Amino acid sequence: MKGGPVVGSPTDPGAGPARPKGWRKLPAGPLRGRHSASAVWTGREMVVWGGAWRAGNASIWLDDGAAYDPAGDKWHRIAASPLAARSEAFIAWTGKEVVVWGGQTHDSLSFGDEFDDGALYDPVKDTWKPMANWPLAHRYGARAVWTGSRLVVWGGASAEAGDDPPPLADGAAYDPSSNHWTKLPAGPLAGRIAPLGAARGNAALLSWGLGAVQNGTRLPASDSALYDAEHSRWSPAAATPPPPKKTWCVDPSGCVGVDAGSRVVFAGPGLAWDPSADRWSAIAAGPFADPFREGEAQAWTGSRVMVWGGGTTDSPGDVPPATVAPGGAAYDPAADRWEPLPPAPLAARARATAVWTGRELMVWGGEADYSHRAQFDDGAAYTP
């Protein structure tokens, strides 16, 4: 299996009939409005789980989920999970089960209370089972990457080490077939918080991130490495160039890239790694290639990186976005070009979630800016 997210195909059983080009609204679903939910395509359904809604300025975290079937154009609730309520959990499809791991009960920009547990959801049986216990110290700011067969989690900093804890350089790989974690061998990278991460083939690419504290400031680390989970070995890779705006990313949607074949693309930061030349370079400029834009909904179609929505924040902590941006765009890695998407039948929002079904880009949920305080329970699907 190719590494990284499972890309929907038009032949998927649940992809549904070919529809006219453009957007269509999704039917109303059973979930209340929320932001920062997790979603994945299973080949038959879009499974949405977790997230948070707001009461005033405070988030109320959620532990429920639902699935949308494009072929039948209908939603249904899924079984209750064994996990505590949370937002921004990592989610992936193994080909048989949905993996949900980590997440937090705080805003991604301030590294709040993060989880190191997870569960597997079987959509055929509508059942959950807990994942094996995480084998390392509790932490925040780790990066999770699905390689196609393993969940690789690396880096972060100790959640119990007080202010300005030293960054961690360890990690573990989870094999869902055996429900077992394996500690990673020592690698060439120094510890760091919130590194860039992406699948490359069956390996995890890790780069950049916030390193040790010096004179009250965390210094960025720019070196890179690949971890091959199947053979349990590391190999070094070229360092990233200095970011143009002090950082390469501010939230998970920007910090996680996609394996686009000839390059690994981080569309949000506007950065790409060429494995054949072992070289990093900027991608074409575009309105969505901004490291300080957060909360974008993103999906990989197999030929385009689809990005929709997002916004900006002007303060740390659990607060709504200061601004939200309407619209979306598709980045073509082969041509190094951005193309705008037509206007969607959705209000502008950030922190929505998105999947690619093989025929459609599906966007659901999210929240409005600070002035409007709306939590959305609607969605739409776009056929290119």
The mean pLDDT value of the chain amounts to 92
Greatest Cα pair distance in the chain: 59
Average pLDDT over residues 18-30: 97
Quick: pLDDT tens for 165-223.
999 999 999 999 999 999 999 999 999 999 999 999 999 999 999 999 988 889 999 99
Residues 286, 340 contacting (CB under 8 angstroms)? no
Q: Taken in order 365, 67, 302, 194, is the CA torsion positive or negative?
A: positive
pTM: 0.95
What pLDDT is recorded for position 112?
Answer: 52
Quick: pLDDT tens for 276-305.
999 999 999 988 888 888 899 999 999 999
- The model's confidence at residue 345, banded by pLDDT at 50, 70 and 90, is very high
Q: Is 376 left (phi over 0), alpha (psi -120 to 50) or beta?
A: beta
What pLDDT is recorded for position 110?
Answer: 47
Q: Which CATH number, 3.20.20.70, 3.40.50.450, 3.40.50.2300, 2.120.10.80, labels domain 22-383?
A: 2.120.10.80
Quick: pLDDT tens for 347-384.
999 999 999 999 999 999 999 998 888 999 999 999 99
What are the residue ranges spanned by the domains of the chain? 22-383
Residues 354, 307 contacting (CB under 8 angstroms)? no
pLDDT at 3 over 60: no
Who's near 217: CB < 8 A, 6+ residues apart? none
In what order do the strands lie in the sheet containing 353-356?
A: 22-25, 379-383, 361-364, 353-356
Quick: pLDDT tens for 321-341.
999 999 999 999 999 999 999
Quick: pLDDT tens for 60-105.
999 999 999 999 999 999 999 999 999 999 999 999 999 999 999 8
What pLDDT is recorded for position 12?
Answer: 81
Q: How many CA atoms lie within 13 A of 320 on its CB side?
A: 21
What pLDDT is recorded for position 262?
Answer: 94
